[in-house]
Copies of this chain bind each other. A is one copy, B any other.
Amino acid sequence: MKAEIISIGTELLLGQTINTNASFLANELQSLGIDSYFQTTVGDNTERIHEVLELALQRADIIITTGGLGPTPDDLTHEAVYSFFNTKPSLDKKILKQIENKFHLRGYKKMPKMNKKQAYKSKNAQWISNKLGTANGIIWKIRGQRSEIRDQKKKISPLTSHLSPLILTFPGVPKEMYQMWNDTAKPYLKKISTKNVIFSTTLKFTGIGESALAEKINKFFNLKNPTVAPYASLGEVKIRITAKAKTNKIANKLVAPVVKSILKKTKKYFFGINDETLEELLAKALIRKKKTISIAESCTGGFLSKRLTDIPGSSKYIKSNVITYSNEAKNRLLCIPNEILNKYGAVSPEIATLMAKGIKKLSGCDVGISITGIAGPSGGSKEKPIGLVYFGLAKGNKIKTQKMLFGSNSSRDEVRFLATQFALNWLRKEI
C-alpha cells in the first residue's frame, strides 16, 4: 500500500508558510508501514489540484491532502476533489449545526455566512471531525469509480493497484490536523494497513560534524536492510537506522545489532535516541538525582532558561534564573566586583566562573551554570571574536569553566543556539 501527501495552499508556493504538515504525515505513515515515495505541493487552484490528483492516483492507493478547507473563497480543496470525481456534494445539516454551535461557544451571535460551505460533503464520504476548529475533513473510499476515472482521462497510465483509491483531507492548521489524524485517520489506516512495517531508530550526536562522524561508521552505509543514513542539523548529527520487516519485533532485531556496533565507535558523541532532546535528558537526570539548577545568562539572553522550562514539570529543578546582560547587572545581581569586570571584561573565563558562583549563591540551588559570550553580529574583536563563548559551572565547592568558539560563519541565532546546546550537553555529563 502506497500513500502520497498533497499539500495544498498558495501560501506554500509563495514561501510564506513552512510545510510542517508534510513531515508530520510522512513520519506517521512510516510508523504505520505505509510507503510514501512522493510529496507534492500545489496552490489553491482547481485545475492544478486536478492534475496533481490524477498523477497521485497513478502512483498511490491513499491520497492525503492538507490545506484548503477553510471558509474563505480561496479554500477549495473539497470542491476540487468532488469535481474531479464528478460528484456533487450536499449540505449536511447536522454538521452545519455543529459549526454554528462552535461559533456560539466562542461568543459569536451567529456563524459568519462563509462558513456554510464547510458543511458540504459527498454522500459516500465520511467526516473526519475537527474538535478544535470548523474545518472538518473527509475519508472517502471511492468505490467503483476508479475505472471510470481512467476511462474519462485517457492520459492516465495503469493504476498501481486494484484497490479503490482512498482520499483523506485535512485542514492546513497543524494542531487541528494532528488531532484529526490521531483521533480518526490513524486508527482507520491502522486497520487497513497490512504490509511490512518500517521501523527506524535515530541516534543523536553532538560535538562532532557530519563527515567526521560518517567516516567512523563508513562501512555501515552499504547495508541494505537495515539501511543506515546520516543527516545533520545545527549542533546535532543524526544517524538513522531503518529496517523493513513483517513485524516491529523482527525489524527491531535487524536494527538492534547495528545500533550497538555504531555506538561502539561513536559513544563519545552520542546523547540520545529518536525524539530525545538534550533538555529532556537533562531534566530527567535532575529529577532523578533530586538536584536543582540555576542559570545566569548573558549573550543567550534567557534561551537556556527557556529550553529548560520547555519541559513540563520544570519547577522541580528550576527556581530562579537571571539574565545579566549589562555589567551593572552582573555586579548588582551576582555580586561580581566592578574592578574584576573591568580587568577581565565580561566575556572571560574569570567572569563565567564568578557568574556561575554568583547565581548558585543567589538562588540557593545545587548547581549554577553561566554563559557569557559574543553572539554578534557586532561586538567582536581580534582577541574576542564573534562566536567566542565562556561557560561556568558551580557544583558543591567545585567550579569549572569551558571555552568554545562557534565558527566565524555562525549567525547570532546560531551562536546563541549552539551555546545553549553546549551548556545542556555539558550539564548532562556533569550532573
Contact = CB atoms under 8 A, between A and B. Distances in A.
A30 B11 contact: no
Contacts of A340: none
The copy count of this chain in the complex is: 2
A325 B301 contact: no
A357 interface: no
B218 A114 contact: yes
A222 interface: yes
A332 B320 CA distance: 9
A113 to B, nearest CB: 9
Interface in A358-400: 362-364, 376-378
A225 interface: no
A223 to B, nearest CB: 10
A221 B75 CA distance: 11
Interface size class of A (residues with CB under 8 A): 35 or more
B215 A114 contact: yes
Contact of A16 (B221, B238, B305): B238
B332 A326 contact: no
A102 B66 CA distance: 43
B173 A232 contact: yes
Interface string A203-241: 000000111101100100110000101111100001010
A71 interface: yes
Interface in A289-324: 295, 297, 300-306, 308-310, 312-315, 318-324
Chain A: interface secondary structure? mixed
Given A22-B41, A30-B14, A132-B409, A320 B326 contact: yes
Interface stretch (A31-39, A121-129, A137-145, A247-255): A31-39
A230 B16 CA distance: 11
B376 A312 contact: yes
B302 A14 contact: no
A431 interface: no
A192 interface: no
Interface of A: 9-20, 22-30, 36-45, 48, 52, 55, 70-74, 106, 108, 112, 114-115, 131-132, 134, 155, 157, 172-173, 175, 200, 202, 209-212, 214-215, 218, 221-222, 227, 229-233, 238, 240, 242, 295, 297, 300-306, 308-310, 312-315, 318-326, 328-329, 332-333, 362-364, 376-378, 409, 411-414, 416
